[in-house]
Structure 1
Amino acid sequence: MSQRPAESVVTSAEPGIDRLSPTRRPDERPVMYQSWRHLLFLHWALPPEVMAPLLPPGLTLDTFDGKAWVGLVPFTMCGVRPRGLPAVGFLSDFHETNVRTYVHFQGKDPGVWFFSLEAANAIAVRLARAWFKLPYHYASMELTTGSEGKPYSYRSERRWPGPTPATCSVRCTPRGSAAPATPGTLQHFLVERYFLYSTANGSLFRGQVHHSPYQVRGADVEGLDESLLAAAGIPRPSEPPLALFSEGVDVDVFRLRRVA
């Protein structure tokens, strides 16, 4: 029987926020399909007063145990395609790395605020900036996939737009057995996010995705060298990150909506 990664079972997220309804599939047709593979979730806790000034008007930090969290997440995208069209090689398969924190909108719809998203596909970067109003950057990237007991290696170097330097290099070795995170735990708070927020021309937008729960396990991290957090104006804590790994999920992407 698989074991869950070590986690606290005490619910310490902000009370009164519905965190289970967002995990259910919306009753509408997706606009896009994607697969996310070989995800390494690195997270650090920060004081809310450090992170709150970096958010746009209308969004509130979503905290756990009174702390804000910043995530650095390298992975690879596969089979990216709009509904009704086939995946097309170099346009549909590319690596990505994002820097993010966790927010809610007026006490509901807990989701992700992205400070930056690196992608190794210049066309995808331009389309995502236009369609989803997200701060994508083109980067040269590499991912060396591991096997059981062997490390995964991720590398990213931003090309455009700035600020630069903005790089990331890290290796990880997954450990233990994978299982879904338990609702109410820190791991569930960090990885099970189905809303994203973006801004354009003074308006706030919300997008939604749907996928099966992540199968997550712990990971041993070494060789972490990154400047993506600094490029986003975020001071990285000196302690090692909380590290989780997932082989991935298949994702339905729904249309962006203006909320404010």
Structure 2
Amino acid sequence: MKEHTFVEEGSLREKRRLTTNLPWIMKQTWNDILFAHYPVPRKILRELVPKGLTLDTFYQTGWISIVPYLTSSMHLRGVPPVPGMANFAGFNVRTYVTLNGKPGIYFFGLTAANYLAAHFAKTFFRLPYFYMNMNHKKAKDLIVFESEKKSGMQLLCNYKSSSTPSLADRGSLEEWLVERYCLYTVSKKGMPLRADILHEPWLLEKAEAEFHQNTLLSNLNIVPDSEKPVLHYAKKAVVRIWPIVPVSE
């Protein structure tokens, strides 16, 4: 497949359009989210992303993002949140792909500090989910995120907001990075799969962060073009998630 180079595509409504008639199956809230975006040579990412997915780049530059956050109020459709399973810390490592004109996210790895949640997502969404002990807590205006070291992965960082919230500018790198409303993966046979994700447009804030330990990129043998990430913070997003389905032509 041809590699996609960024051009401003359609309206936000187009980017958020649903690609299935099925109802959503899960709802959750993401809280105190840090986006740490690193530019990465597209050649490196192309070797890591499955061939059935088209790598997305912003003016020929690839990007990979590390995103720690706290999940709360997670529940299946028609079922109230289950005590002990609804709230947990996690992070994901992701890059950006597109298929049939719909930009989305491809995950290299996701973690949850809840075994049942990680097992459910790994089984039903066919995602590389891992259970890991983590803490996500507030210390005055600072968010303290701490994970154990597991399978070569560890993330220890502090972060905070440093501005008021606003929508990303149309056509900006920020909009390109965060305004994506689906995830992609592939089946064991290489068939592209997609799950729609719907929430309000991101209200982003500038962020400051200090990384005490971060092995998430080196664990993937990725050396970014810059060790200094583009940082954003978001207070909250209420998210609905649809079933994962094969991508039709």
Moved more, 215-224 or 202-211: 215-224
1:1-260 to structure 2, matched below 5 A, reads 14-15=6-7, 17-18=9-10, 20=12, 21-24=14-17, 29-106=23-100, 108-147=101-140, 150-159=141-150, 164-202=151-189, 203-259=191-247
Contact 1:214-1:249 within 8 A present in 2 as well: yes
Taking the aligned partners of 2:149 and 2:118, their CA distance within structure 1 comes to 12
Once residues 98 and 190 of structure 1 are traced to their aligned partners in structure 2, the CA distance between those partners, rounded to angstroms, is: 14
Runs of 4+ in 1 over 6 A off after TM superposition: none
Q: TM-score, normalised by structure 2?
A: 0.90
Cα distance, 1:15 vs. partner?
2.1
TM-score, with normalisation over the residues of structure 1?
Answer: 0.87
SS at match of 1:124: helix
Aligned residues: 241
1:28 CA displacement = 5.1
* Residues 172, 211 of structure 1: alpha-carbon distance in 2 compared, 3 angstrom cutoff: same
Would the aligned equivalents of 2:31 and 2:70 in 1 still touch at CA under 8 Å? yes
Moved more, 192-201 or 22-31: 22-31
CA RMSD of the aligned region, Å?
A: 1.8
Alpha-carbon distance in structure 2 between the residues aligned to 1:252 and 1:193: 13
- Separation (CA, whole Å) in 2 of partners of 1:50 and 1:259: 25
Question: SS at the partner of 1:39?
Answer: strand
Cα deviation, 1:178-213, whole Å, max 9, x if unaligned, reads 011122111111111111011222122101111011
Identity within the alignment, %: 30
Q: How much does 1:24 deviate?
A: 4.5
Amino acid corresponding to residue 198 of structure 1 in structure 2: T
User: Aligned-pair distance for 1:166?
Assistant: 0.5
Q: What are structure 2's unaligned runs of at least 5 residues?
A: none
Inter-partner Cα distance in structure 2 for 1:67 and 1:117:
23
Q: How far apart are the structure 1 equivalents of 2:183 and 2:11? A: 14
Note if contact 1:22-1:195 (Cα within 8 Å) is conserved in structure 2. no
Deviation at 1:220, TM superposition (A): 1.1
Q: For residue 128 of structure 1, what is the amino acid of its counterpart?
A: A
2:39 and 2:96 map into 1 onto residues whose CA distance is 11
Unaligned runs of 5+ residues in structure 1 are 1-12
- 2:41–2:224: 8 Å Cα contact kept in structure 1? no
Work out the CA distance in 2 between the residues paired with 1:192 and 1:83.
24
Confirm or deny: 8 A CA contact 2:8 2:171 kept in the other structure: no
Are the aligned partners of 1:116 and 1:232 in contact in 2 as well (CA < 8 Å)?
no
User: Is the Cα–Cα contact under 8 Å of residues 33 and 83 in structure 1 kept in the other structure?
Assistant: yes
CA deviations over 1:44-89 (Å, ceiling 9, x no partner): 1111111111011211111112100000000011111110100012
